[in-house]
Structure 1
Amino acid sequence: MTAVFAERDGFVGTEAGPAAHFGNPLGEQRMLASGRAVVELGLGVVTVTGPDRLSWLNSITSQLLVGLAPGIATETLVLDQSGRVEHAARVVDDGTTTWLLTEPSDAAPLAAWLDSMRFMLRVEVADRSDDFVTLGRFDAPAADDAVVEWVDPWGTVTPGGWGYAVQEAHPGSDWTLRIDVVTPEAAAALAATGAPVAGLLAYEALRIAAWRPSLADVDDRTIPHELDWLRSAVHLSKGCYRGQETVAKVHNLGHPPRRVVMLHLDGSDGVLPAPGTPVHDGDKEVGRLTASAVHHELGPVGLAVVKRSLDPAATLTLATDDVVVSAAQEVIVPPGAGATANVPRLPRLGAVRRS
């Protein structure tokens, strides 16, 4: 099986990293969604050890981590003073070590920032990205030799969180991602068995369809509310941390200035706009595309962050390769999100369930 590597946001562009696909992205996607394949995610791995690790991480990030039981997975964000997202980490503790899984480009910066915040506390931070491989799967048994397993909490609104998406059938309820952290030797042994594998293109399409945010959707202005990230990565009742004032003020008194939408892209011309492509409403630029892929059931789809005031019924356009691609919006974060507003439940376009 030949691996194909691609240079684009979120994907490693050399043969030292995960493959974009293995020749059949849609077929790989179906196998991955049904639990018959695994995908190498290439995530960064940062570990924190020491008796103060959980109370320390709790004091500087957005999630309630004090008392986190071994094996229980969660997610947390590092925000700046203005509440903008700087780092994001999937979190699981094994009783002696807290494991932080993040995007590959963020591992070293996250480890460096954490190390700078240690002061006199009994914690040690290490970037262990070169020591481990991260394998993603859906509804499949854990690897016998996994060092640790992270189970994505995106399927429900976590305790202390808040979901802005108001659809009766949230696609996150079908998002059953599990990530195994294994040694390179264990990953090689699995590959030698000929087990079905999928590339990152397959994973990305499923992520978009589940409205699952990641650092790929973040820019230098992003606050968690805009991506509906209060759902899984923020605890609204915990104590103070950097950026907490903005989180509380926007949620209780205001509205996020932007909001994420899912785009159903016109695939008539066979052109898929790349992440970063400007999104237009008529002649006016109203946002940017953060992710795009071809879903095996929904067709070409994307996530975009747009102005809060944008009419949800407006048909949008994206120009790429001298082709103008039209797009219909599917509301994720409603224009009225924030101020703990009650908003009407909305039907979901093209809703599908993975079998």
Structure 2
Amino acid sequence: MSDPFLSVPGAVVAEGVDAGVPGHYGEPMREQRALERGTAVVDLGGRGIVTVSGPDRLSWLHSMASQALDRLAPGGSAEALFLDANGHIEHVAHVIDDGERSWLIVEGDEAAALAALLDRMRFMLRVEVADVSAEFAVLGALSTEALDAAVAAAAPAGVALDWHDPWAAGSPGGHRYAPEAGHPAASWTWVERIVPRTALEDAAAAVAAGRVAAAGSLAAEALRIAAWRPRRATEVDEKAIPHELDWLRSAVDLGKGCYKGQETVAKVLNLGRPPRRLVLLHLDGSDTVLPAAGDEIVALKVRPEPAEGEQPERRVVGRITSSAMHYELGPIALAVVKRAVPAELELIVESHGIDVAAAQVEIVPADARSAVDVPRLPRLGVRP
């Protein structure tokens, strides 16, 4: 099925993780400004949606996810992670409940896998799982006013299906590694609206009629990166744990009961430090090269007394996860680097055969401390 937003004048299809929806409409910088002002909507038609119905749905999801979901009120929003036994992130879900069904917004390629995982875990509980991605779609914006100008939210049980991102305020039971002072999350008032997939035509018509502006996925990504907001499709690899991406902030309730991966969550938080950490990079744009996801980040190691003509040793210390050209900040990127990389160290991104200088802004600090102080036990045989 062709996406109706691709028929909007100027639409250019996106590549990469957002392939299939418009990447921009000819003016990505202007689209960023409109999105930030709350006057534009973004076509998220590539997202997937899984529903869980039945009287046991919330307690059942609560038992498996990192977030407390058992008391989620109709119309309430939450973000939840599904982890493996070692605490690695497998699925990320944006959860809304309407009193009859829980709606889980996920990346498009996650929907079938998450639905299959949940279906295997039903046992004798009164729940039903369905992948409804073919019937419903998602629009995004930084204001509900922009969404209202485009199309009404689906409300099959009388509750509007708007998911409000908790990133700005954080989850009540979460933990923040990044300091709140100056945190750019304050301006990230992101809303994802579930609509019947057929309603995308009405939304595209509203854009064509001038009732609301449209912004492409490039604009949404630029503002997301500037807000330090991690995304499943970009920042997560097979080794990622929530702490590394500051995802305890919005998607983990540290006070809830057992769930798969909880031991790792508690151990790293209380006894250790994340093995890697998320940073924002300000990139040198003089060569007009924007690094891509997967590009390696290196640091130069200079010997105290190098031999004549000896070049500094290059050590890989991380990788780019997502990048964008921001209308104010210029070229920026999110990246995952090794914990021990000093925050003040200038880095180099190797991209398209060119060295791109990069300066770090800490998100998860290099010296991220334990959440609790563990008392030191005296050695055996040593008397005070």
| 1:36/1:140 contact within 8 Å kept | no
Instruction: Specify the SS of the correspondent of 2:193.
Output: strand
Which residue, out of 182, 194, 215, partners 1:198?
Answer: 215
Which residue, out of 365, 378, 383, partners 1:334?
Answer: 365
Separation of aligned partners in 1, 2:66 and 2:244? 15
- For structure 2, the residue ranges without an aligned partner over 5 or more in a row are 1-8, 155-160, 301-313, 374-384
Amino acid aligned to 2:115: A
Residue 299 of structure 1 aligns with which residue?
A: 330
Which residue, out of 250, 274, 278, partners 1:260?
Answer: 278
Q: 1:320 deviation in Å?
A: 1.5
Moved over 4 A (4+): none
Residue 80 of structure 1 aligns with which residue?
A: 84
| 1:257/1:307 contact within 8 Å kept | yes
Q: 1:335 deviation in Å?
A: 1.4
1:277 aligns with 2:299: no
Separation of aligned partners in 1, 2:173 and 2:122? 26
Amino acid aligned to 2:170: V
Q: 1:140 deviation in Å?
A: 3.5
Per-residue CA deviation, residues 103-155 of structure 1 (Å, 9 max, x unaligned), is: 11111111111111111111111111111121111123243620111010101
Separation of aligned partners in 1, 2:167 and 2:291? 26
Amino acid aligned to 1:293: A
Instruction: Specify the SS of the correspondent of 1:153.
Output: coil
Which residue, out of 3, 6, 10, partners 1:2?
Answer: 10
Instruction: Specify the SS of the correspondent of 2:185.
Output: helix
Q: 1:185 deviation in Å?
A: 2.7
Percent sequence identity is 53
Separation of aligned partners in 1, 2:219 and 2:193? 18
1:155 aligns with 2:178: no
Aligned length: 337
Per-residue CA deviation, residues 196-219 of structure 1 (Å, 9 max, x unaligned), is: 101100000000000011112000
Separation of aligned partners in 2, 1:48 and 1:167? 35
Residue 349 of structure 1 aligns with which residue?
A: none
Instruction: Specify the SS of the correspondent of 2:70.
Output: coil
Separation of aligned partners in 1, 2:245 and 2:197? 33
Separation of aligned partners in 2, 1:221 and 1:178? 29
Q: 1:191 deviation in Å?
A: 1.3
Instruction: Specify the SS of the correspondent of 1:48.
Output: strand
Separation of aligned partners in 2, 1:6 and 1:201? 8
Amino acid aligned to 1:243: G
Separation of aligned partners in 1, 2:248 and 2:163? 19
Per-residue CA deviation, residues 290-346 of structure 1 (Å, 9 max, x unaligned), is: 00001111010000000000010111111122211110000000012241179xxxx
Amino acid aligned to 2:223: L
Residue 130 of structure 1 aligns with which residue?
A: 134
CA-atom RMSD in angstroms: 1.3
Instruction: Specify the SS of the correspondent of 2:12.
Output: coil
Per-residue CA deviation, residues 53-100 of structure 1 (Å, 9 max, x unaligned), is: 000000011000011101110100000000000000001100001000
| 2:14/2:21 contact within 8 Å kept | no
Instruction: Specify the SS of the correspondent of 2:91.
Output: strand
| 2:53/2:129 contact within 8 Å kept | yes
Please report the TM-score for the alignment, with normalisation by the length of structure 1: 0.93
Separation of aligned partners in 1, 2:231 and 2:189? 16
Instruction: Specify the SS of the correspondent of 2:192.
Output: strand
- For structure 1, the residue ranges without an aligned partner over 5 or more in a row are 343-355
1:210 aligns with 2:217: no
Separation of aligned partners in 2, 1:288 and 1:116? 35
1:220 aligns with 2:224: no
Residue 350 of structure 1 aligns with which residue?
A: none
Instruction: Specify the SS of the correspondent of 1:208.
Output: helix
Amino acid aligned to 1:2: G
Which residue, out of 144, 153, 166, partners 1:146?
Answer: 153
Per-residue CA deviation, residues 146-172 of structure 1 (Å, 9 max, x unaligned), is: 011101010112111011001511111
Amino acid aligned to 2:356: V
Q: 1:173 deviation in Å?
A: 1.1
Instruction: Specify the SS of the correspondent of 1:106.
Output: helix
| 1:256/1:338 contact within 8 Å kept | no
| 1:51/1:122 contact within 8 Å kept | yes
- Max radius of gyration: which structure? 2
Amino acid aligned to 1:3: A
Shift in CA distance, 131/58, structure 1 to aligned 2, threshold 3 Å: same
Residue 351 of structure 1 aligns with which residue?
A: none
Residue 35 of structure 1 aligns with which residue?
A: 38
1:102 aligns with 2:106: yes
Residue 176 of structure 1 aligns with which residue?
A: 189
